[in-house]
Amino acid sequence: MIIPTEIIQQKRNGGSLSSVQLREFIRQYVAGNIPDYQMSALLMAIFFRGLDADELVTLVRTMRDSGKVLHLSDITGFKIDKHSTGGVGDKISLILAPLLACLGIIVPMISGRGLGHTGGTLDKLESIPGLQTRISLTKFKRILREVGFVIAGQTDEIVPADRRIYALRDATATVESLPLVVSSILSKKLAEDLDGLILDVKTGTGAFFPKQEDAIQLASRLIAVGEDFGIRVRALLTRMDQPVGVKVGNWLEVCETVACLQGKGPTDTMFEVYALALLALRAAGFTDDSSELLSQLKQAISSGAAMERFLLYVRLIGGDIQVIENTARCPLPPAIPIIAVKSGFVTELNAYQIGIASALAGAGRQRAEDSIDPVAGIHLHAKIGVVVQEGEVLAEIYTHKRNTNEICKLVSKAFSISAEKLPLDKIIIGEVTRNSELKPFNELV
């Protein structure tokens, strides 16, 4: 028998919890024997005191084992998932998953929804008419076996502890805690029976952890704990100062995904896709040199193989593939243009403000129960480093909202235009190691 107040007090005083204490606290909470108010006190104590390596492994394992765990051993192949810490315009997963599947990697991907200024992969997929990401485990495995990848929502059966704890953290201002973020990410990923995990850890204005040192800490702890569970983890540190690609919003990002899969995607987006793909292939044991792997990846795009996989997946999960094959069939609301008030170089394009503007336009939600408008969003016509002329269209807003003043103001303010050109930061900062080192990533240069 554990005494909850003793455990809270021990953590509050900076002590370490034994694996029995922490495990039983979580289990009793999930079983309904420990009330929310004791869990929230423990979460706040963890916010201030942290968790050591052993505590974190115990927390991750207990959360993972709170529900069903996938068993994919009957599907042959190296199983890998990619996780992004969340950003604006981040449709990388939708492109990366079919691409990796073309090279024989098995990608079982359980994704989440957007909250606040960041979008969610499931919301993007569900902007495709008919598509339903809430599927059974049986269907999940059937699609995975047939297509080589699957993207679906978390069912009630998988990691129920995380769902309950995450909702409580959201209501008690304990979201931004490194060990709690790590446990939430890894408990879900480890329930997928993976061999490897690729992390896209974002930093900058639009990232969950804007400061680079915090993002590096997060990456290195994810690697350390993941590897303690016996999977191969690689982490790329990428810049989220401006949105990824040129489209932000659910259906708009599906359109951009289709463009990427057709070989017509923006350079920054494809650069990031290829970088993460290379990390995944190396983790899976591919030993060819980078240029050889890169040409295989490009071949999967140019041959239409990746697009074909994507269409097969959409069809099997209930989506209308006709609108995918011809995205113009999906009507958008009238565009509201945002005009450059002066000429010069775009020196800033604040991802956070664009994310908030897109959410306000209808693409995001403030609360988990809010509904979203699939076609709302923002199309960016200029990005950092580009020259614009006064009167030129910087962006177009798609929304069904009546009052668009604040949205327009936010998008307009997100752009900084200057006479002087600033040096352009690379989207990929480097690869983070288990020991918080930052290795240059030059594979694509």
Catalytic residue positions? Answer: 83, 162, 169, 184, 188
Cα torsion 372, 123, 226, 194: sign: positive
The residue within the footprint of its own copies, chosen from 18, 36, 308, 412 (CB under 8 A), is 36
Q: Kindly state the smallest distance separating residue 169's Cβ from its own copies, in Å.
A: 9
CB of 33: closest distance to its own copies in angstroms? 13
Residue 387 is encoded by which pair of tokens?
């020259």
Query: Residue 40, interface with its own copies (CB under 8 A)?
Result: yes
| Nearer CB in complex with its own copies: 171/387 | 171
Buried b / exposed e over 197-207, threshold 16 CB at 10 Å, is bbbbbbbbbbb
**Residue 249, phi-psi category: left (phi > 0), alpha (psi -120 to 50), beta (remainder):** left
Closer CB to its own copies, 34 or 281, in the complex: 34
Nearer to its own copies among residue 302 and residue 366 (C-beta): 366
The nearest distance, CB 294 to its own copies, in angstroms, is 44
Choice between 168 and 321, CB closer to its own copies:
168
CA dist., res. 207 & res. 120, Å (int): 14
Q: Which amino acid is present at 388?
A: V
Q: Which residues have a Cβ under 8 Å from the Cβ of 409 and sit 6 or more positions away? A: none
Determine, following the binding rule CB under 8 A, whether residue 337 of this chain makes contact with its own copies: no
Task: Give every strand in the sheet of 247-248, ordered side by side.
Answer: 247-248, 377-380, 393-398, 335-339
- Among positions 359-378, residues that touch its own copies (CB under 8 A) are none
Residue 9 or 217: the one with the smaller Cβ distance to its own copies is 9
Would you count residue 168 as binding its own copies (CB under 8 A)? yes
Instruction: Considering the complex, state which of residue 367 and residue 402 has its C-beta at the smaller distance from its own copies.
Output: 367
Q: Which of 30, 43, 70, 97 binds its own copies (CB under 8 A)?
A: 43
Q: Which two tokens stand for residue 371?
A: 């509904």
User: Using the rule CB under 8 A, which residue among 20, 31, 33, 35 binds its own copies?
Assistant: 35
We find the least distance from the C-beta atom of residue 204 to its own copies, in angstroms, to be: 20
Stated as kind and residue range, the H or E segment containing 42 is: helix 36-49
Q: 3-class secondary structure for 300-360? A: HHHCCHHHHHHHHHHHHCCCCHHHHHCHHHCCCCCEEEEECCCCEEEEEECHHHHHHHHHH
> Hey, is 203 helix, strand or coil?
strand
Tell me which residues in 173-232 interact with its own copies (CB under 8 A).
Answer: 173-174
Q: Other CB atoms closer than 10 Å to residue 65's CB: what's the count?
A: 17
Tell how far CA 192 is from the center of its chain. Answer: 16
Residue 253 near residue 216, CB atoms below 8 Å: no
d(Cα 266, Cα 289) in Å, to the nearest integer? Answer: 25
Shortest reach from residue 40's CB to its own copies, in Å: 4
Q: Which of 17, 21, 30, 47 binds its own copies (CB under 8 A)?
A: 47
CB of 367 to its own copies, least distance (A): 11
Binding to its own copies by residue 37, rule CB under 8 A? Answer: yes
417's enclosing H/E stretch is strand 415-418
Q: State which of positions 258-277 bind its own copies (CB under 8 A).
A: none
Using CB under 8 A as the binding rule, whether residue 343 contacts its own copies is answered as no
Positions touching its own copies (CB under 8 A) are 4-6, 8-9, 12, 35-41, 43-45, 47-48, 168, 170-174
